[in-house]
Amino acid sequence: MGDDVVAQGVDPARATLLEAGGTNAVGRMLGLLGDEWTLLILQHSMWGLRRYGQFMAAIPISNAVLTSRLALLTREGLFDRHVYQHNPPRAEYRPTARSRSLWTVLLAIWDWERQWVPEHAQRLPVMRHAACGADFAPVVGCAACGEAVALRDVGAEWGPSGSWERSVPAAATRRRSEVEGGGVQSGMFPDTMAIFGNRWSSALIGAAFRGVSRFSEFEASLGAPPTLIADRLRVFQAIGVLQPVDNLGRSDWMQYRLTAKGRAFFPVVLLTLQWADRWYHAPEGPALAMTHRACGAALTAVLQCDQCERQLAGADVVVADDHPDPLMAGSEHIDAAAIEDVLMEHPDVREVAVIGAPADPAGETPVAFVVGADGLTVEALMEFVATRLPPARRPTVVELIDSLPRTSVGKVLKRDLRAPYWAGHDRSTT
C-alpha cells in the first residue's frame, strides 16, 4: 500500500483504506454516489455553488436532507467546510481533489443525457474544448494505446476484494420522494437519476453490464427483495435502458437485455468504477480487474475530444458562455464576480447575479439581481456596498427577485437577466 492511503479517510487528497472483508470500493462508491441528492449537490458544486443558501435555492431539497448530505460529503472528503463568517455562522463547502476528479463522470452523464434524453425542461449547455476551440462530445479512450473503448472491448473480472456481496452497499438509502422534493421535477439529469440515483438501481445496472439478465439472477446476485428488483426493472424498461426478451415462450425464463440506450450508459459506469478504485482501497486489492481487449493492457479510461482526438483535461472543458463580452465601464474592465462576492457577504443575501446594462457613452453599468431574506431592502444593500467598493464598481441598480433563472444544470441564465436592459440595443443578449 502506498503513501497515498490514510486509514481514516479524512484526508481528501488520499484514498480511504477500507476494512478487510468489508464493503469494497464499488459498494462504498454506490453507497455515496448512488443517491439522487448527493449527485445533484455535487453537480451544482461543479457549476460554482458553494453556500448552503445557494444549494437550497437551486435544488428542490429540504433543509434536513441538505444538511445531512453536506455533512456526509464533508465527512467523506468530497467537500472542505470553510467558515467565512462567525456571527452569524456561515460556511462554504468547497470541492476537494476527490470531488473535482468526478468531472469525467459528470461530463459522461451530460453527453449521455444530451444524446438519449430529449425531454429536458431546458436545453443542456454546449461544452467547448478550450484546447481546440470546438464544441465537442467526449469519447472514452484507453490511456495505454489511445484507441476508443466500447463496452464490447472491455474484459472485467472480480479482483481480490470483488464479489456481489461486497459490492452492494450495506445500508439502504431512502429514495427521493415527492414529499422531500415538494413535488418539483428537478429538471437536471432525469434518466441518469433513475439509473444511478438510488443504490439498488446502481447495483442492478452494474449487474446488467456484467451479463446478469434473468429476474432470479438479479435477486440472487444482489440479495435484494423481489419487490425491489421488480420495481427497478419496471423503471428501467420505462426509460428504455432495458428490454424484456421472451426466452422460449416461458415467462419464468424472461430475460432483461440492455438496449442501445442502456449500452450507451457504459462510459458513466466505467468512469465511476474507476473513480471508486482511485479513492477507496481494500487491503486485499481492487474489486474489479478491467482490461482493454484490443491492446491487452489493464484499462485506464480517459476522455478524448471527438473533434481533435486529444485527451481532455478538466480545465480545458468549458461551458460555452451565453454572453462573452466583458462588463466595461468606459475603458475600465469591471469584474462582475468580485461584485457578487461582496454582496454575498451581506448576512441576508442568499444569491446574487451581476450583469452589465447599457450606459453612455457606449459602456456598461453594473446591475445586481439579489435573492434575499424577508425584510432585505435595496437601500440596505446600497449602503453595504458603499463601504466596500469604489464608486465605479458599485452596482447602480439593485433588483430584489425571488429566484435566479437557471439552466437544467444549475448555471445562471444571465442572458435572461440582460434581455430587458438590452432590448432595442445593437448588442445581443444571447
Q: What would the DSSP string read from start to end of 387-411?
A: TTS-GGGS-SEEEE-S---B-TTS-
Residue 69 CB contacts under 8 Å (≥ 6 apart), including other chains: 35, 37, 38, 41, 61
The more confident residue out of 18 and 250 is 18
In this structure, the answer to whether residues 247 and 346 fall within a common structural domain is no
State which of 85-99, 256-270, 384-398 shows the largest mean pLDDT: 256-270
Closest CA to 368 of 296, 419, 417: 417
Residue 395 predicted with pLDDT over 70: yes
pLDDT band at 5 (very low <50, low <70, confident <90, very high): very low
Please count the other Cβ atoms lying within 10 Å of the Cβ belonging to residue 364: 21
| Nearest-5° Cα angle at 151, 149 to 153 | 55
pLDDT, average across residues 308-324: 73
Identify the CATH number of the domain in which residue 376 sits.
3.30.300.30
pLDDT band at 406 (very low <50, low <70, confident <90, very high): confident
Q: Quick check: is 163 in a domain?
A: yes
The pLDDT of residue 394: 87
Cα–Cα distance between 427 and 430 in angstroms, integer? 9
The pLDDT of residue 181: 35
> Which domain range does residue 349 map to?
328-422
CB-side neighbour CA atoms (13 Å) of 379: 1
Residue given cell 471508486 in the structure block = 276
Statement: the pTM of the whole predicted model exceeds 0.75: no
pLDDT, average across residues 76-88: 87
The pLDDT of residue 429: 39
The pLDDT of residue 427: 53
Last residue of a domain, one of 209, 231, 263: 263
Is the bond preceding residue 118 a cis peptide, omega within 30 degrees? no
Cα–Cα distance between 251 and 257 in angstroms, integer? 15
Residue 8 predicted with pLDDT over 60: no
Please count the other Cβ atoms lying within 10 Å of the Cβ belonging to residue 163: 14
Residue 327 predicted with pLDDT over 80: no
| pLDDT more than 90, % of the chain | 37
In this structure, the answer to whether residues 50 and 143 fall within a common structural domain is yes
Lowest mean pLDDT among 293-307, 336-350, 351-365, 373-387: 351-365
Q: Quick check: is 321 in a domain?
A: no
In this structure, the answer to whether residues 195 and 49 fall within a common structural domain is yes
Q: Quick check: is 342 in a domain?
A: yes
Tell me if residue 154 falls in helix, strand or coil: strand
Identify the CATH number of the domain in which residue 253 sits.
1.10.10.10
Q: Quick check: is 57 in a domain?
A: yes
In this structure, the answer to whether residues 73 and 159 fall within a common structural domain is yes
Please count the other Cβ atoms lying within 10 Å of the Cβ belonging to residue 17: 16
Q: Quick check: is 177 in a domain?
A: yes
What would the pLDDT profile of 129-177 be if each residue is shown by its tens digit?
888 888 888 999 999 999 999 889 999 999 999 988 898 776 544 444 3
pLDDT, average across residues 49-54: 87
The pLDDT of residue 355: 87
Give me the number of domains the chain comprises. Answer: 2
Residue 184 predicted with pLDDT over 60: no
pLDDT, average across residues 201-227: 88
pLDDT band at 302 (very low <50, low <70, confident <90, very high): very high
pLDDT band at 10 (very low <50, low <70, confident <90, very high): low
Residue 299 CB contacts under 8 Å (≥ 6 apart), including other chains: 142, 144, 149, 154, 290, 291, 292
Cα–Cα distance between 429 and 423 in angstroms, integer? 8
What would the pLDDT profile of 345-363 be if each residue is shown by its tens digit?
898 898 898 888 887 655 7
Cα–Cα distance between 49 and 42 in angstroms, integer? 9
The pLDDT of residue 180: 35
Q: Quick check: is 400 in a domain?
A: yes
Average pLDDT, the chain: 82
The pLDDT of residue 413: 80
The pLDDT of residue 303: 94
Q: Quick check: is 268 in a domain?
A: no
The pLDDT of residue 183: 33
Cα–Cα distance between 270 and 19 in angstroms, integer? 24
Residue given cell 463496452 in the structure block = 151
The pLDDT of residue 26: 92
333's enclosing H/E stretch is: strand 332-333
Using only C-alpha atoms, the chain has a radius of gyration, in whole angstroms, of: 24
36's enclosing H/E stretch is: helix 36-46
Q: Quick check: is 44 in a domain?
A: yes
Cell of 212: 446478469
The pLDDT of residue 89: 81
pLDDT band at 240 (very low <50, low <70, confident <90, very high): very high
In this structure, the answer to whether residues 341 and 209 fall within a common structural domain is no
Per-position DSSP letters for 108-119, written without gaps between them: HHHHHHHHH-TT
Residue given cell 476508443 in the structure block = 148
